[in-house]
Structure 1
Amino acid sequence: MAQAAGPPRTVLITVDDDPAVSRAVARDLRRRYGESYRVVRAESGESALEALRELKLRGDPVAVIIADYRMPAMSGIEFLEQAIDIYPDARRVLLTAYADTGAAIDAINVIDLDHYLLKPWEPPEEKLYPVLDDLLEVWRAADHRRVAVTKVVGHRWSARSSAVREFLARNEVPYRWYSSDDPEGRRLLAAAGEDGRRLPLVVTPDGTALVAPADRDLAARVGLATTPAADFYDLVIIGGGPAGLGAAVYGASEGLRTVLVERSATGGQAGQSSRIENYLGFPDGVSGAQLTDRARRQAAKFGAEILTAREVTGLEVGGAARVVRFADGSAIAGHAVILATGVSYRQLDAPGAAELTGCGVFYGSALTEAAACQGQDVYIVGGANSAGQAALFLARSAKSVTLVVRRPSLAATMSHYLVQQVEEAPEISVRANTVVEAAHGEHQLERLTLRDTESGGSELVDAQWMFVFIGAAPRTDWLEGTVLRDSRGFILTGPDLAPEGRLPAGWELDRPPYHLETNVPGVFVAGDARAESAKRVASAVGEGAMAVMLAHRYLEQS
């Protein structure tokens, strides 16, 4: 069995344009430190800088940099000046001849040199090793432990930077955020050869640098599955919210070859919820992320395959097979399909909102932005449960949270337990009979125009953060011409397709559609995308399980 790779060893790097001297330095370093440190040698300042940039992107620690003073293209001092920008904490040593000691002494102030060594340094036990031992002890005194996480360099008000952070967070990919204005962020940009005009920069744990990557490219690089393992399955589930995950758990656990396809991140809208308190079996509540993670691991345990960042664009009938087509032109097929595509938040129809999306205007809870809201005034648009859960979560750190509600009160759209908690939270206020008329800001959200629907009066308020929860639109446009939907785009099933016992047009079987079956035999729907569904996490999970049961019945009769 192959041994798992351990953490990378700390690097000692030496650069000298004289090959003989370069080999001698590396030889002496390896003799004393080779078991604990990795020794890297270079024969020019530029090649050494290139090596440092690669080490930086991989996150490998560098403890000591040793450079010869006299090099033709770039002196040791010039090299160390640039090396400081990449590894500011590394100890710096200059190799000099006796005639250059004056320059070496000056370099102590110019580049904060830690030590200079006269050539030759024989014997190393007396002239080299004691110096390096002291420098390594100083370096080890600070915490330089490498954390193998994805690094994201972006700007606070960059919409794509925000989207990448949300994508990684919702897919449970550990990452570390660096502002492009921070020193470490600038160092990572420089190491990748970027000037900060294209953001975000994503550096994966293996050192790969991705500039403003698309979700699918990002998913593949951080270890998420994006390519199906097979061409044909018993059950294809489209959508990874509670309904889809529930179907994946029950389908795989009952022996069906199951694949779940998700276009962004598993969990759906529920996965973005900061707290779900009315889900059976969790009396103290559970976050959407926790529930999603448990369901995803449970589905994987039973053998369900989960594909991320794959957008489905078409559904076709090919004899007994149901063919699912992807945006890149590829396809998979299955005996049965469950549509669990869920819904997305409706876009706010107000001037300025579209332009500022991701730059202060967010749809859904955007929990990755919560820390930046500390001590600030936050506006939440909407009056349903998701808005109330977000308000309670953000109120923990925000200066104030204002719920902007079109209706006269929260009672008609929010669960009673949430209404009570909102009313008891001193940081939360409710502006009823109010709508957002406009969002203002040049590069980020700065102000909102709020209009009172009763009096007609408008008010301009300062705002840097607005989270929008204003109803749901089904993600079903791609089913046009194949699966029947109602006027709002929700999918029709079962009795709605066969009123008074009449079979839907084109239906080829001698039985009516099952309760969750669409007008295409073998294609089922579960969760919020179904017409007249309950729009609750528990009901979505239940429908996912029921859809699997009906798919089994369909397969047995096919």
Structure 2
Amino acid sequence: MPRQGPVLLTVEDDPAVSRAIARDLRRRYGSDHRVVRSETGAGALEVLRELTLRGEATALILADYRMPGMNGIDFLEQAMDVVPQAKRVLLTAYADTQAAIRAVNDIDLDHYLVKPWDPPEEHLYPVLDELLDTWARDSRPGFEGVTLLGHQWASETQDLKEFLTSNQVPYRHLRGPEGAALQGTAAIPDESLPAVIMPDGVVLTCPPLREVAERLGLATTAGSPLYDLVVIGSGPAGLGAAVYGASEGLRTLLVDRAGVGGQAARSSLIENYLGFPQGVSGAELAQRARDQAVRFDVEMLTAAAAVDVVAQGEGRVVRFDDGHEVTAHAVVIATGVWWSRLPAEGADDYAGRGIYYGASAHEAPGCKGEDVFIVGAANSAGQAALHFAQYANRVVMLVRGPDLRLRMSEYLVGRIEADSRIEVRTCTEVTAAHGDGRLESITVTDTRDAGTESLPATRLFVFIGAEPPTSWLSPEFARNERGFLLTGPALLDADGRPPREWPLARTPYHLESSVPGVFVAGDVRAESVKRVASAVGEGAMAVTLVHRYLEAT
């Protein structure tokens, strides 16, 4: 039989039910997938091994829970060792749903479906469509993306890796000038690295992010001079505002200097986000939100930095670093925060050369067999520690306070304490970094007795503090002492009156800045709740207030 794309494998011991499942799958996916049936778990494992040996990709496995010899949960757990990227779905009767829910956590099950599912258009296909879309994004059986040539310990290489990752661009990293030979490209001199090789063979040496974006077909300049709404920042708050604004009929422009997702996109697994019982990676959540924004015709700009927002009459002018500008009826600022710099001697010398601020999930495989150090004690640090522990020889968390529970959710603390690969050192801070061109060791100090210790370290990931990127805004925008933007009630004096500079008779709306018509959502706002769910909620709430503002003007 000729190959018809990735395999969809069904495992069901009842022949009649097995044929019905296969029929439903072929009706929807038969044109670009191959449906394979098996009636036992043991037989299905042999099928998977044979498919893998032949080089065929398995995209999805659907296994019945109640099967003789090997039940569906046991089979799916063993199948993960053979085809770890395949999406796994358990088929259950209503009476078995509790077992299926437990399997979501115990074996990282992707989904469970209760039989029967008629009509499949409502109860089967939407679930499988989403799983197959995710599999297609994450699986790269034949590489057709960008090749990045660059030294592992160069900060410029790291910047390009982060840019490509945040924009969901498939790439591979070949290290050093010798990587050019592997790519079949003429040798590139050391001073011309990093270099980006496009799928069409074009080589960009030491390229600015804007040039890479343009070569990739990403928009860097607005297509219109006028919009109903401009959203600056594409983290959860910005994406939430863009999706809700466009879905409610506002012509919306979304602007970001790097790529979608913000800091949340670097989270390896967000486990307490509503509606995702098995958790969701930050990158996947960002991609889903981006897909929604595209569906609602949000226009997106990448590698475009806003440098000013100015009120001109009823319009709000957003100016960019390349000199162009757009006018909007309203603006939402959702630029999030940056991780604070590590206050250790020599730390700035190794930024991107062993010291990294935050950590994308793609960094973890490169740490296989190494010791990884993480500075921080909030949820982001905990999520990173658990993710790196799957690859690294050891993960050491350096925590300034006396207890992880002071700032981290209990579900993360419990998992960290139960993981033998993670060591937590409390009352410890990094006071110096050392190395020759790259990080090689760190000095840590015990805050209780001021004793110091030198530790060999090549990778240190920092998750401390939060600094709002608001210096580009004019003094008209009121901030608190840390630079976070003040909004709504925070702008009022003790008698509930707005500042003298406020030009309107009404008081500012809840998320409205000191410049009318410019709203603030997410972490960059003073006194915001630093959680993904609250950021999305503020983005949606900002759009509600934008409508109120537009109706009143």
If the length of structure 1 is used for normalisation, what is the TM-score? 0.72
Contact 1:492 1:530 in 2 (8 A): yes
Counterparts of 2:270 and 2:291 in 1: how far apart (Å)? 19
Amino acid at match of 1:555: L
Residue segments in structure 2 that go unaligned for 5+ positions in a row: 1-140
Contact 1:189 1:196 in 2 (8 A): no
Amino acid at match of 1:519: S
How many residue pairs match? The answer is 412
Map of 1:235 onto structure 2: 229
Shift of 1:536: 0.4
| 2:499 counterpart of 1:516 | no
Amino acid at match of 1:212: C
Counterparts of 2:188 and 2:439 in 1: how far apart (Å)? 27
Provide the secondary structure at the position in 1 that maps to 2:373.
strand
Counterparts of 2:177 and 2:385 in 1: how far apart (Å)? 30
Shift of 1:315: 1.1
| 2:340 counterpart of 1:346 | yes
Contact 2:354 2:438 in 1 (8 A): yes
Contact 1:189 1:195 in 2 (8 A): no
| 2:121 counterpart of 1:148 | no
Q: 2:174 aligns with which of 155, 173, 178?
A: 178
Counterparts of 1:263 and 1:189 in 2: how far apart (Å)? 32
Contact 1:316 1:482 in 2 (8 A): no
Q: How does 1:103-142 map to 2 (within 5 A)?
A: none
Are the structure 2 counterparts of residues 284 and 188 from structure 1 closer, same or farther at C-alpha, using a change threshold of 3 Å?
A: closer
| 2:549 counterpart of 1:554 | yes
Q: 1:507 aligns with which of 480, 502, 511?
A: 502
Counterparts of 2:367 and 2:341 in 1: how far apart (Å)? 22
| 2:371 counterpart of 1:377 | yes
Counterparts of 2:531 and 2:400 in 1: how far apart (Å)? 22
Counterparts of 1:424 and 1:255 in 2: how far apart (Å)? 49
Q: 1:167 aligns with which of 147, 163, 167?
A: 163
Contact 2:485 2:524 in 1 (8 A): yes
Counterparts of 1:214 and 1:257 in 2: how far apart (Å)? 30
Are the structure 2 counterparts of residues 381 and 321 from structure 1 closer, same or farther at C-alpha, using a change threshold of 3 Å?
A: same
Provide the secondary structure at the position in 1 that maps to 2:190.
coil
| 2:469 counterpart of 1:484 | no
Q: How does 1:8-407 map to 2 (within 5 A)?
A: 147-180=143-176, 182=178, 184-186=179-181, 188=183, 191=186, 194-407=188-401
Amino acid at match of 2:170: P
Counterparts of 2:142 and 2:516 in 1: how far apart (Å)? 54
Amino acid at match of 1:239: G
Counterparts of 1:209 and 1:189 in 2: how far apart (Å)? 12
Provide the secondary structure at the position in 1 that maps to 2:192.
coil
Shift of 1:442: 0.7
Map of 1:431 onto structure 2: 425
Contact 1:395 1:401 in 2 (8 A): yes
Counterparts of 1:226 and 1:273 in 2: how far apart (Å)? 26
Counterparts of 1:267 and 1:212 in 2: how far apart (Å)? 25
Provide the secondary structure at the position in 2 that maps to 1:314.
strand
Amino acid at match of 1:366: S
Provide the secondary structure at the position in 1 that maps to 2:374.
strand
Counterparts of 1:443 and 1:425 in 2: how far apart (Å)? 33
Counterparts of 2:472 and 2:155 in 1: how far apart (Å)? 26
Counterparts of 2:162 and 2:329 in 1: how far apart (Å)? 34
Q: Deviations over 1:175-220 (max 9, x none)?
A: 12212254x52365853x6323221110111222111111111111
Counterparts of 1:555 and 1:181 in 2: how far apart (Å)? 55
Q: How does 1:511-550 map to 2 (within 5 A)?
A: 511-550=506-545
Are the structure 2 counterparts of residues 225 and 471 from structure 1 closer, same or farther at C-alpha, using a change threshold of 3 Å?
A: same
Residue segments in structure 1 that go unaligned for 5+ positions in a row: 1-144
Map of 1:62 onto structure 2: none
Identity %: 53
Amino acid at match of 2:302: T
Contact 1:346 1:473 in 2 (8 A): yes
Provide the secondary structure at the position in 1 that maps to 2:327.
strand
Counterparts of 1:389 and 1:293 in 2: how far apart (Å)? 19
Contact 2:270 2:279 in 1 (8 A): yes
Counterparts of 1:370 and 1:480 in 2: how far apart (Å)? 39
Contact 1:150 1:222 in 2 (8 A): no
Provide the secondary structure at the position in 2 that maps to 1:543.
helix
Amino acid at match of 1:148: E
Map of 1:64 onto structure 2: none
Contact 1:263 1:310 in 2 (8 A): yes
Counterparts of 1:305 and 1:399 in 2: how far apart (Å)? 44
Q: Deviations over 1:239-296 (max 9, x none)?
A: 0000000000000000000001001111111110001011111111000000000000
Counterparts of 1:146 and 1:285 in 2: how far apart (Å)? 28
Shift of 1:149: 1.3
